[in-house]
Amino acid sequence: MEIKQLVRAGILAALAILFIQCKSNQPNAMETKQAMQESKEYIGMWMTADGYIRHNLLPGNRYDEARGKRESAYQGSYKVTGNHIDYKDDTGFTADGEFRDGILYHAGMVLYKQK
């Protein structure tokens, strides 16, 4: 084999490995369905008693957070497992919280679900 063929084969092998790794990191349909089912009762608007912080937990495991007059201050994804919620905003920042007795405790804040 010529050098060019070896290089081309090496590049193709590396791309194949990357493709397989990316595919294996994607949630399968069952995982997605389970995550959506666990999130279902939590979907909606959650806010602090003074209304300053507002988390809108959207269907499809996305959220939109407003702070004061600043709408969409943070946006990202979330995952609910049992009564635990993990947030990951679109910049990569992560946080978590816990639902207890109809209240969301998150990063030192207490949020209540709006009806």
Is pLDDT at 5 greater than 60 in this prediction? no
What one-character DSSP code corresponds to residue 7?
H
pLDDT of residue 49 exceeding 70, the answer is: yes
| pLDDT tens per residue across span 10-22 | 555 554 554 555 4
Q: pTM for the full model?
A: 0.67
- Work out the angle at residue 76's Cα, subtended by the Cα atoms of residues 29 and 42, and round it to the nearest 5 degrees: 70
Among 86, 2, 76, smallest CA distance to 39 is for 86
pLDDT of 27 strictly over 90: no
Please determine, for residue 1, whether its predicted confidence score (pLDDT) is greater than 80. Answer: no
Q: Are 56 and 63 in contact (CB under 8 A)?
A: yes
List pLDDT tens digits, range 80-114.
999 999 999 999 999 999 999 999 999 999 999 99
The position carrying tokens 């269907």 is 59
Which pLDDT score, from 0 to 100, does residue 28 have?
65
Using only C-alpha atoms, the chain has a radius of gyration, in whole angstroms, of 20
**Would you say residue 45 has pLDDT above 70?**
yes
Please report, for the chain, the start and end positions of each structural domain, with discontinuous segments joined by +: 32-113
Length of the chain (residues): 115
pLDDT beyond 90 at 115: no
Task: Determine the CATH number of domain 32-113.
Answer: 2.40.128.290
